[in-house]
Structure 1
């Protein structure tokens, strides 16, 4: 029994090394690799020499599962991200690895639990002391318990060593017995095996008794420790909440102080009798549109001197030669032009629908579909309708007209700078419908069209056509009886980045007004869909827009501030400045792209001190009181069950007589999805896409047979497709190759003549 009292120096299971066959792929099959088990981590290398510099992979056994396949195979996995299919040279070797792995896993899990407890700032010596009581006796008791538990753990470790040692000896003896023939030595060998088996049994019993004692002690103290730990965690939560409240109060005080300091500094720099300290603090929220924060804004706005509110513009030095009658009216009273709603001029011919069928409660994991599509174009990913909304991209583009009244008002403006404010507000308003709309619109089929005839209700007619499929491009043309035309061709480039999805609209938007022949252009900003993998999807808009009047040279620079968790600014913030061709600021715009926009008349501007980042000076604008130019319409009741559609969006897919056969309203998969028949919609969607691909292949074959050497130059179209209602030409303003409406659609509708329309559905 002297052998029993001598443990091995290194506990078995702490470190284990050896060659194991690992499955690589179907071509190479199992390959021999050197595996090392140490500190709860299983690592492997191609050779022993690689141990010093190149590890091929590691699994943390604390969270891993170990499964046995057959006599020699076993599998180790940590939940799907890593899985090792291994094969030992024999069953005995496989059992050795399984034993070592299980012991290492148990120890790693125990260490991880201890680490988690220490991470909660839980001290066993203090946790057992109830609140309000002395800790001397309790601390001594806990320390004594810990020493006893430590002794039992050492006993377990010793028994574990002995079991490993005697088990190996017993296994060798059994192997020798198995290889012997029936000779005289058999009796001696059998007796030897019996002795070692008895020794092994005695050691096992000792280990079981030590485990039983350990368990009894752990159960006796577990409830008290759990209670103390819960008290500590609750106290930590209370401290975190208190700290958060203090941070918010500090933030509010800092903003108020900074706003007051900026207002006083700007007023003092001009020597004007500006508002006092108390006034600046009270009006900080109304007048400080551009906060001097981490974003380092280019300018700051402060209330204008009271003299600008009381005196006529003709008596103000420096402004009498630059401000016309229209400017003077802006200073003395709110804008009243076109306050009547154009939609009330003519009653609608039909009552539009106000509801669609509720969205079915289908559950589908977006990550399971998109994890293999990282870096690909979104238009090339086969997506089920479960991620769509029952509306096409052409209809979504027509939603830009949700606030067409802004263009109606702009068309009646006498002042081009004031008109630019309305156009800029219109460019922002198109994003208000996206704040909750995480569903993906249907990709239009090539040749698909969508008309939105609101001439009697709102004075405009809109037509969209899908003019290209790769890359996807839609041409849009709107003509209004109230003096404006809107046209655009949008190509959507999108990339899936793993955690988020970036959607970059490419193309220029044109707004042309009959009065003054003012021609404005701008582009769209980047849309980002966050939390693709986990969490709730949310959308952000970020980037900059330059709305340019090519007739007068006026310009409005808008900045969509990206959301930041650490920013003190309001979320979804948009800022802008309207300047003339000489760069002089006339209006300041501020608001959010999901709620409202306001604009203020700039009375004076000056360069502030070098208080920006990198020593840059910021412009200080003294402005009149802000006036609202646009506000988002409220969503219908129960919008969350109808895809968060607006009142306009609910009517876009409403069946209508007399539209073209290629109109999105006639698309069968989209109609089935709207009706809640998603399984049928998925089947129909696949049929339409395959039909489109076959037509495309046929068109490419025809183009290849007709293509001449001059047509095969780089940049020539790969097929001979031409849009039906739009023609490709060079835009005279931007120089871009765009599709512009060539006419004929509304005349064909009046005649009911759709022979030229392709069969796409």
Structure 2
């Protein structure tokens, strides 16, 4: 056995083991803190640079010098989610999912092994602490009282604590096992190299190296032995206690089974009593029973005394209602009885309140219990029609898309009004926002709602139908989601649609969206114009924002794909709070996640409170800001001056704001419609004659009859043009000669030319009181007209 060299220090961090340190290179402190110099790769010009690294509480931070530890941290990586890889004898890499990667180099192989050991132990502890933190909010999975009436929660907490302790010990054993394997392999390799060098006479340095590795192996082995001893002692100490707890759980289960059996009998008797009350005359006060509770002359009516007691209690039969001949209502009534029985406490099971078992005339009526309408989950599959794309598009470059006659082959069987209503797929985000007490947290949910509206577009490369002037679309989801939505096409050139949503859950949404689009050959850009407003009744907070640009790529050659890019400012006009969202455009050369969205929520003073991150097609998360500081430089200006410093935010753990719902099965053959989109064109009774559901060309396309749909589309567009010309002629007839003279004096070329005087039916054009923009705001009357079935004022557009 080799003797321990006097100048061979060893430093490692192992649970239950004693650590030795190298005074000049590394300095272990309290707990699992580990410090020392390492060389970090910076760039191809400077190469590796010497940096001071500190490992503490599962975080690896680095500084340029030791003096910077008090004020300037150059970077930090969380080991709980990091990967540690060894490249060669001195180099190793720490990567955090691609976002952060440190290429590090130690001064020697032994020094590298010390850091690897410390990092792996710190990572194991960080993962364990994170798992314990996730489980800390879990409650005891027991919905029944404890056997003795008290102490059940304490015993559950004690068992969970013991299980966590045992789990921690198992993690220590696993970690030590891995380290023993690594150190054993390294020791075996050094012994083999030493045996080869012994024959050559060069053994001095190798003996020192083998001695250090042997010491590491001994420390790790001792830690393994200590962890095994602790685990065995703990398991033996709690074994008898667990046996008692198991026996108590078995006894409790038996009591619960007996209780459920009694409740089932009571339930069965209650149902029979309820059915008998509708057909049997009420028992008189002179009714008598024998000592066992059975009626005279009938013998024993039941084997259970409790059932007969329920019959004796029924002395007021007229209070029972007659059950209608509706099987759905029968089932609903049965479920109510079951609910009452299941909610009876164990302490009260022997004395039921008769009043809770009586169904009086104030019970809900059958029509109030009708189930929510079942919506369709499929539409006809998309046909596979060939089309010469270039023959249509070559003459359209540079033109406004709304003025180009497009065949339905480019469309999907929905109108733009229906696509606008599809923004409400994740309206529950606004429901949650309405319940928020904090306006800044409410702003986070509103921002997530703005992002969620783009999630349905990721695969939707089809163009929606351009709505006809005066076309409407209603979306009544009061029973399902508590809101009503109405859209109307208020302008044709430029195309503009007004939208108004009112929710019973405390919020209102309104917007007017006009689309400006340009076809540039390789791609198509769609720029939404207009402002979206969301008002919450309880707090009176008023938010507004605009949409970003949508780009459709590979129009001529290649597979179509859609990208969203730009910036959105969601502003709270009451408090001055603001959320700045940035939709990063896709770049082939970028290492960022595709479709990335980031955001910062600030108050009116500009102080950041929340950080939002995620993608517009999958999910959004938010983190509370604890501290912000100025970090690295943002770049170099044109004149050689340094750019602005980047702001670095220290945040709490991220929480999920929104997550996309999965697409229905077979969505690829149904235009990639979401569950809501599949129901938008479903026929409904009582809608206005101008509703998009009644549009014939759109209906024919949905049914797969595309040739007929193209012919019908041309008919509708020509009808719309003729109506517009008639409207202009009418405007010219009512114009006074003085007006014509005034127009001719200002510009002779404008003589006999009049603007379209069309006015929307359900929306009124006025100035927005918040943004001072001219917009269309809902003036009311639509839902009242629907209730009355009076659509005389609706134009004939189809």
- Asked if these proteins are the same fold (TM beyond 0.5), I'd say yes
2-structure distance, mates of 1:271, 1:618: 14
- Cα deviation, residue 554, structure 1: 0.1
Q: Deviations over 1:510-567 (max 9, x none)?
A: 0000121000000000000000110000000000000000000000000000000000
1-structure distance, mates of 2:596, 2:457: 15
- Cα deviation, residue 350, structure 1: 1.0
Q: Which has the higher contact order (CA 8 A, sep 6+)?
A: 1
Checking the alignment, whether the CA contact within 8 Å between 2:62 and 2:74 is kept in structure 1 is no
Equivalent position of 2:190 in the other structure: none
Checking the alignment, whether the CA contact within 8 Å between 1:367 and 1:532 is kept in structure 2 is no
Equivalent position of 2:617 in the other structure: 594
Equivalent position of 1:735 in the other structure: 772
State yes or no: 1:568 paired with 2:596.
Answer: no
Equivalent position of 1:192 in the other structure: none
Q: Deviations over 1:75-96 (max 9, x none)?
A: xxxxxxxxxxxxxxxxxxxxxx
State yes or no: 1:648 paired with 2:676.
Answer: yes
State yes or no: 1:749 paired with 2:777.
Answer: no
Q: Deviations over 1:5-62 (max 9, x none)?
A: xxxxxxxxxxxxxxxxxxxxxxxxxxxxxxxxxxxxxxxxxxxxxxxxxxxxxxxxxx
State yes or no: 1:678 paired with 2:706.
Answer: yes
> Secondary structure of the residue that 1:609 maps to in structure 2?
strand
2-structure distance, mates of 1:685, 1:419: 44
**Following superposition of structure 1 onto structure 2, how do residues 52-67 of structure 1 map, counting pairs within 5 Å?**
none
C-alpha change, 1:710 and 1:421, in structure 2 (3 Å) is farther
2-structure distance, mates of 1:758, 1:411: 37
2-structure distance, mates of 1:754, 1:672: 25
State yes or no: 1:520 paired with 2:537.
Answer: no
Q: Deviations over 1:636-663 (max 9, x none)?
A: 1111100000000000000000000000
State yes or no: 1:377 paired with 2:405.
Answer: no
- Cα deviation, residue 613, structure 1: 4.9
> Secondary structure of the residue that 2:390 maps to in structure 1?
helix
> Secondary structure of the residue that 2:539 maps to in structure 1?
helix
Question: What TM-score does the superposition give when structure 2 sets the normalisation length?
Answer: 0.54
Q: Higher mean Cα deviation, 714-723 or 533-542? A: 714-723
- Cα deviation, residue 349, structure 1: 2.4
1-structure distance, mates of 2:79, 2:480: 50
**Following superposition of structure 1 onto structure 2, how do residues 300-339 of structure 1 map, counting pairs within 5 Å?**
none
Checking the alignment, whether the CA contact within 8 Å between 2:63 and 2:73 is kept in structure 1 is no
> Secondary structure of the residue that 2:633 maps to in structure 1?
coil
> Secondary structure of the residue that 2:434 maps to in structure 1?
helix
Equivalent position of 2:695 in the other structure: 667
Q: Deviations over 1:452-509 (max 9, x none)?
A: 0000110000000000000000000000000000000000000001110000000000
C-alpha change, 1:262 and 1:422, in structure 2 (3 Å) is farther
2-structure distance, mates of 1:541, 1:654: 29
C-alpha change, 1:268 and 1:630, in structure 2 (3 Å) is farther
- Cα deviation, residue 270, structure 1: 3.8
> Secondary structure of the residue that 1:401 maps to in structure 2?
helix
Checking the alignment, whether the CA contact within 8 Å between 2:728 and 2:754 is kept in structure 1 is no
C-alpha change, 1:454 and 1:289, in structure 2 (3 Å) is farther
State yes or no: 1:428 paired with 2:451.
Answer: yes
2-structure distance, mates of 1:492, 1:564: 25
1-structure distance, mates of 2:508, 2:97: 35
2:514 aligns with one of 491, 516, 520: 491
Checking the alignment, whether the CA contact within 8 Å between 1:608 and 1:620 is kept in structure 2 is yes
C-alpha change, 1:721 and 1:272, in structure 2 (3 Å) is same
Checking the alignment, whether the CA contact within 8 Å between 1:579 and 1:587 is kept in structure 2 is yes
Checking the alignment, whether the CA contact within 8 Å between 2:497 and 2:512 is kept in structure 1 is yes
State yes or no: 1:437 paired with 2:457.
Answer: no
State yes or no: 1:616 paired with 2:653.
Answer: no
2-structure distance, mates of 1:455, 1:733: 28
Equivalent position of 2:502 in the other structure: 479
Checking the alignment, whether the CA contact within 8 Å between 2:61 and 2:74 is kept in structure 1 is no
1-structure distance, mates of 2:511, 2:476: 17
2-structure distance, mates of 1:661, 1:285: 61
> Secondary structure of the residue that 2:487 maps to in structure 1?
strand
Checking the alignment, whether the CA contact within 8 Å between 2:61 and 2:73 is kept in structure 1 is no
> Secondary structure of the residue that 1:676 maps to in structure 2?
coil
> Secondary structure of the residue that 2:771 maps to in structure 1?
coil
Equivalent position of 2:658 in the other structure: 630
Checking the alignment, whether the CA contact within 8 Å between 1:290 and 1:575 is kept in structure 2 is no
- Cα deviation, residue 278, structure 1: 4.7
C-alpha change, 1:584 and 1:263, in structure 2 (3 Å) is farther
Equivalent position of 1:352 in the other structure: 375
**Following superposition of structure 1 onto structure 2, how do residues 240-251 of structure 1 map, counting pairs within 5 Å?**
none
State yes or no: 1:367 paired with 2:390.
Answer: yes
State yes or no: 1:386 paired with 2:421.
Answer: no
> Secondary structure of the residue that 2:501 maps to in structure 1?
strand
Checking the alignment, whether the CA contact within 8 Å between 2:60 and 2:77 is kept in structure 1 is no
Checking the alignment, whether the CA contact within 8 Å between 1:473 and 1:491 is kept in structure 2 is yes
Checking the alignment, whether the CA contact within 8 Å between 1:573 and 1:593 is kept in structure 2 is yes
> Secondary structure of the residue that 1:354 maps to in structure 2?
coil
**Following superposition of structure 1 onto structure 2, how do residues 99-138 of structure 1 map, counting pairs within 5 Å?**
none
2-structure distance, mates of 1:461, 1:421: 24
> Secondary structure of the residue that 2:405 maps to in structure 1?
coil
- Cα deviation, residue 415, structure 1: 0.2
- After superposition, the CA RMSD in angstroms is 3.4
C-alpha change, 1:611 and 1:391, in structure 2 (3 Å) is closer
- Cα deviation, residue 365, structure 1: 2.7
- Cα deviation, residue 368, structure 1: 1.9
C-alpha change, 1:621 and 1:461, in structure 2 (3 Å) is same
Equivalent position of 2:279 in the other structure: none
1:707 aligns with one of 735, 747, 759: 735
> Secondary structure of the residue that 2:491 maps to in structure 1?
strand
Q: Deviations over 1:118-169 (max 9, x none)?
A: xxxxxxxxxxxxxxxxxxxxxxxxxxxxxxxxxxxxxxxxxxxxxxxxxxxx
C-alpha change, 1:351 and 1:272, in structure 2 (3 Å) is same
Q: Which runs of 5+ in 1 are unaligned?
A: 1-249, 293-302, 311-344
State yes or no: 1:718 paired with 2:755.
Answer: yes
C-alpha change, 1:351 and 1:601, in structure 2 (3 Å) is same
- Cα deviation, residue 348, structure 1: 5.3
C-alpha change, 1:418 and 1:528, in structure 2 (3 Å) is same
Checking the alignment, whether the CA contact within 8 Å between 1:395 and 1:652 is kept in structure 2 is yes
Q: Higher mean Cα deviation, 264-273 or 378-387? A: 264-273
Checking the alignment, whether the CA contact within 8 Å between 1:264 and 1:276 is kept in structure 2 is no
Q: Which runs of 5+ in 2 are unaligned?
A: 1-43, 85-93, 103-125, 134-367, 638-642
Question: What TM-score does the superposition give when structure 1 sets the normalisation length?
Answer: 0.57
C-alpha change, 1:662 and 1:268, in structure 2 (3 Å) is farther
- Cα deviation, residue 666, structure 1: 0.3
Checking the alignment, whether the CA contact within 8 Å between 1:407 and 1:422 is kept in structure 2 is yes
2:726 aligns with one of 693, 698, 707: 698
State yes or no: 1:532 paired with 2:555.
Answer: yes
User: What is the number of residues matched between the two proteins?
Assistant: 459
C-alpha change, 1:752 and 1:609, in structure 2 (3 Å) is same
**Following superposition of structure 1 onto structure 2, how do residues 168-567 of structure 1 map, counting pairs within 5 Å?**
264=62, 268=69, 270=71, 278=79, 281=82, 349-567=372-590
C-alpha change, 1:682 and 1:274, in structure 2 (3 Å) is closer
Q: Deviations over 1:656-693 (max 9, x none)?
A: 00000000000000000000000000000000000000
2-structure distance, mates of 1:518, 1:506: 23
C-alpha change, 1:617 and 1:366, in structure 2 (3 Å) is same
